[in-house]
Structure 1
Amino acid sequence: MRANYKMQRLFVEGALSGDGTVALSAQQSHYLTNVMRMREGGELLVFNGRDGEWRAGVAAVSKKSVTLSLAEQTRPQPPTPDLVYCFAPIKAGRLDYMVQKAVEMGAGVLQPVITQHTQMTKIGTDRLQANAVEAAEQCGVLAVPTVREPVKLERLLAEWDAERVLIFCDETAAGDNPVAALMGLKGRRLALIVGPEGGFSEDERRQLHARDFVTAIPLGPRILRADTAAVAALAVIQATVGDW
């Protein structure tokens, strides 16, 4: 069932079930009443990443809180996407964009990875999770990705599940077309890793190529920024061996 983009959507923490109510946080209550200008009787869609999407009405409004009453489930909860997206954090504004696009493109897990050339070694996962939630609200996504704590590349590779293929965007990979390399991965559990601005170091590239679970792909003849490379890679993976 397709998402309804005509109604406001809001992520909530509480459980959702028939004839139930949801008490919003002070921040969400402020947003709904002062930003969205909703009043008692107004309707919106709510989801929590577990219980599907529900049509809800504004049942009560006070100075600091809003209570919603649930009317009906509009979409059932889909499975969480299995695609793991690993990325070297970049500057804040572009990192927000990259996280939002990964959510839109069907990533189920967001894994920050610290590499030799990573620009931002200290990042707030709460901010990344908030960006993931915002993207889900805007794009009709019900299964909100999990944001993991950052890890160094060496640890990521050492603890990797070898049953999951790690697709490595390698700017030095032979050829310009990634489709041929991806076609052999149909039916496999997949992950994608995109490096930082400046790319992976030579030692990191050697580490990646040395792992049997890593598949290197090119991304064409152009030099792409890290956030652009992420969107391009996610799109070609989903179109070739994903859910498109």
Structure 2
Amino acid sequence: MPATHDPKTPAWPPRSAPRLFVADELDMGSIIAIEGNQAHYLSRVMRVGEGDIVILCDDITGEWAARISSVGKRRIEAEAVERLRAREAVPDFWLCPALVKKDRFDLILEKATELGVARIRPVTTRRAVVDKLNAERARTVTVEAAEQCARTALPVVDAPEKLDALLRDWPQDRTLYFADETGGEPASAAFARYKVPAALLIGPEGGFDDAERAAIRALPQAVPIGLGPRILRAETAAIAATAMWMAVAGDWAA
């Protein structure tokens, strides 16, 4: 069914239209089945009905306006009627945070998504108090963050890996900024010199031990950086440094 609204008018798409990420690739006229928690959200919380518009993103083609064609108790169907935006370009920047307690790591995932990180590679270290990540929960956190801030792209979230494995297989062409609490080049200056591809490594609550720090510094691609005069919690360091990189070398500077 073609769109019946002029896309140039303020009413299209409706500002109140719910926004969801879906697993299926979208195309003009494609019928998308929405089930589970998403269907419950649309039918019970947002009270959508047949003919209503929702905004769907597939992390492949971009953002689409879709018209609800049927509403059931456990399943909703919607037809893609117009592509509104292509999938956004994302700076080639990875965040490699050491695992921390669940609520704090959720915050890292949420803010990294909002800030535009392309990939999140969780790391396990000797002083970390956490060594596992619930992949389904991580996906939920990043999707909800992207929906809330109208992103059309999701970060890739990898399974946790040990620090030594991360360093052993590190790409030769990617700078690894290392937030070293013992000191390093001011972050803003380092970010301005080395741009993309790049990544940021943040330690756990207890920091890296001496052997880990020596191994990181031995990596030719590693650039130790300092994050100012104050001691930052792991999640604060990850968020603040990512925001700084986006401002200095990422798409905030464009």
Q: Give TM-score scaled by structure 1 length.
A: 0.93
Retained in 1: the 8 A contact 2:18–2:42? no
Query: Which residue does 1:84 correspond to in 2?
Result: 94
Q: Is residue 182 of structure 2 the alignment partner of residue 172 of structure 1?
A: yes
Q: Secondary structure at the match of 2:130?
A: coil
Distance 1:113 1:174 in 2: 21
Distance 1:215 1:89 in 2: 21
Give the Cα–Cα distance (whole angstroms) in 2 for the partners of residues 64 and 4 of structure 1. Answer: 25
1:204 match: 212
> Within 1, Cα distance between the matches of 2:233 and 2:14?
33
Q: Aligned-pair distance for 1:123?
A: 1.6
Which of 210, 220, 241 aligns to 2:228? It is 220
5+ residue gaps, structure 1: none
Query: Deviations for 1:32-70, whole angstroms, at most 9, x for unmatched residues?
Result: 111222222221210010011001121101122100111
Q: Measure the CA separation in 2 of the matches of 1:183 and 1:210.
A: 22
- Report the RMSD for the aligned CA atoms in angstroms: 1.6
- Alpha-carbon separation, structure 2, partners of 1:35 and 1:44: 13
CA change 1:199–1:5 in 2 (3 A) is: farther
Instruction: Report the Cα offset of residue 157 of structure 1.
Output: 0.1
1:133-155 Cα distance to aligned partner (Å, 9 max, x none): 11111111111111111110000
In the alignment, is the contact (CA less than 8 A) between 1:164 and 1:189 conserved in 2? yes
Is 1:43 equivalent to 2:67 in the alignment? no
Query: Does residue 72 of structure 2 align to residue 62 of structure 1?
Result: yes
List 4+ stretches of structure 1 deviating above 6 A.
none
Alignment-derived partner of residue 245 in structure 2: 237
Provide the C-alpha distance between the structure 2 equivalents of 1:143 and 1:210, rounded to a whole number of angstroms: 34
Could you list the per-position Cα deviations for residues 98-143 of structure 1 after superposition, in whole angstroms to 9, with x for gaps in the alignment? Answer: 1000011111111110001112112212211221111111111111
Q: Distance between the aligned counterparts of 1:4 and 1:209, measured in 2?
A: 52
The structural deviation recorded for 1:162 is 1.4
Secondary structure class of the residue paired with 1:149: coil
Report if the CA contact (8 A) 1:88-1:196 is conserved: yes
Aligned to 1:194: 202
Distance in 1 separating the partners of 2:177 and 2:184? 15
For residues 222 and 4 of structure 1, do their structure 2 counterparts lie closer, same or farther at Cα, with a shift above 3 Å needed?
A: farther
Which residue type is aligned with residue 222 of structure 2?
V
2:34 pairs with one of 24, 42, 52: 24
Percent of aligned pairs with the same amino acid: 39
- Within the alignment, does 1:102 sit opposite 2:112 as a pair? yes
SS of aligned partner of 1:24? strand
How many pairs were matched up? 240
Instruction: State the distance in 1 between where 2:108 and 2:169 align.
Output: 25
Separation in structure 2 between the aligned mates of residue 137 and residue 5 of structure 1, nearest angstrom = 14
Which residue identity lines up with residue 86 of structure 2 in the other structure? P
Partner of 1:11: 21
Following superposition, the deviation at residue 79 of structure 1 comes to 3.5
